[in-house]
Amino acid sequence: MYVKPLAERLRPNSMEEFIGQKHLLGPNSPLRKALLSGVVPSMIFWGPPGVGKTTLAQLISKYCKANFFILSAVSSNVKEVREVIEKAKFLDKTILFIDEIHRFNKSQQDALLNAVEKGVITLIGATTENPSFEVVSALLSRCQVYHLQHLSREELKSMVEIALEKDEFLKSQKFNFESYEAIINMSGGDGRKLYNTLELVGNQAEAGSTITDERVIEICQKNIVLYDKNGEMHYDIISAFIKSIRGSDPNAAVYWLSRMIQGGEDVKFIARRLLILASEDIGNANPNALLLANNCFQAVNVIGYPEAEIILSQCVTYLASSQKSNAAYMAIKQANMIVRETGNLPVPLHLRNAPTKLMKNEGYGKDYKYSHNFDKSFSNQEYFPEEIKESVLYNPSNNLRENELRQYLKNLWGKKYNY
């Protein structure tokens, strides 16, 4: 007898049951406003696996009382897309959900354009990849892009509690979980993976037993292959790959690279992760890292497999062997936090643009010092809003290149940059 997986058994049936993505569905959020207005645009859900992209599309369809069609870009073709569009012409409202839309090529995506533009269908696409890279610009311009986030630990905990309370099988087993820590850690913010783990533990643990974190890990490690039909744990492998480069171990990095290549990983997926890492983990400790990673991205897209593995290997070993710094990464995170806390602080008058006489009369641009008119092209003036002028965002790391930057800034600014 066929038994639905736990994730399917507990799929939410209403917006109220949906967990996560409060930035999209909370009060006054953009998607909720669209739903309440009754005018739902075509949209792209961009986010990691297991955060509710498919479920949310289904709930939107239910909320709008629309006909719902679902296609997977992995197995569908232009003919199937056109068949749905033809059916939609004779229906009132139609939502077409395309999972992994980034796997559609240009001609497949182009087949959607006219139907989306004329409102024959409302398209909801789901992708784990940045749509700026993977969705053709003509289609992207016709869609709203909503960025879904990993589920928080509290949200994942809620999901476990709901499963233990509502799922008939888990209720009947009367488990006592000593902690949810291991199950949550293994999920990596992926709700589907969380339920897969919980179901696996539920099937193998003794009814009525107390389940420790150690027991969860023991069960999962014995059955690790069950999480991936291809035997490759996509997101765990990429995590090990990135952490090996960050940890300056080129041997391990190339090993994980080989695991991804032999598992048939998308070459662009690997190359994009290297681009991000070059700034996040190396940054100004070696600015050439970003240049090489960008050249690698361009080259592997032209070359393709199998030769692209040589280019990837060169880039990976270079990045792993480079000095590391996350100072630039931490600077923007700190800046984001300050902006969220302080809001839209006014731009100081001397830094404002003054293209009109009225603006000049209002003091815009007054007392601004044009840096190139000064020695070393430097003028000592305040560039921050008054309220946060003491903020320190960029703190150069302790490496050869950034120590030079640190000294240069100290020589210019004195005490202000005396870290």
Q: What pTM does this model have?
A: 0.58
Residue-wise burial string across 9-40, b where 16 or more C-beta atoms lie within 10 A, e elsewhere: bbbeeeeeebbbbeebbeeeeebeebbeeeeb
What pLDDT is attached to residue 162? 94
Residues 339, 343, 345, 351, Cα dihedral to 10°: 40
What pLDDT is attached to residue 225? 39
What pLDDT is attached to residue 112? 92
What pLDDT is attached to residue 233? 61
**Third-level CATH fold of 348-417:** post-AAA+ oligomerization domain-like (1.10.3710)
β strands within 52-162, DSSP E? 67-72, 94-99, 122-127, 144-147
**Third-level CATH fold of 153-227:** Helicase, Ruva Protein; domain 3 (1.10.8)
Please provide the average confidence, as pLDDT, over all residues in the chain. 87
* 284-307 pLDDT tens trace: 999 999 999 999 999 998 887 788
Give the residue range(s) of CATH 1.10.3710 domains in the chain.
348-417
Give the residue range(s) of CATH 3.40.50.300 domains in the chain.
20-147
Query: What distance in Å separates the CA atoms of residue 58 and residue 96, rounded to the nearest whole number?
Result: 10
What pLDDT is attached to residue 223? 54
- Output 227-232 pairs: Cβ under 8 A, ≥24 positions apart: 227/193, 227/196, 230/263, 230/264, 231/263, 232/259, 232/260, 232/263, 232/265
Q: How confident is the model at residue 391 (pLDDT cuts 50, 70, 90)?
A: confident
* 163-220 pLDDT tens trace: 999 999 998 888 888 889 888 888 878 899 899 899 988 888 888 888 898 888 888 7
Give the residue range(s) of CATH 1.20.272.10 domains in the chain.
234-321
- Residues with Cβ within 8 Å of residue 22, at least 6 apart in sequence: 29
**At residue 4, does pLDDT exceed 60?**
yes
> What is the percent of the chain with per-residue pLDDT over 70, rounded to a whole number?
96
CATH code for the part of the protein at 234-321: 1.20.272.10
For range 357-375, the mean pLDDT:
85
What pLDDT is attached to residue 2? 56
**At residue 232, does pLDDT exceed 70?**
no
What pLDDT is attached to residue 301? 82
Give the residue range(s) of CATH 1.10.8.60 domains in the chain.
153-227
Domain range 20-147, CATH architecture: 3-Layer(aba) Sandwich (3.40)
Determine phi and psi for 143, rounding to 5 degrees: -125, 145
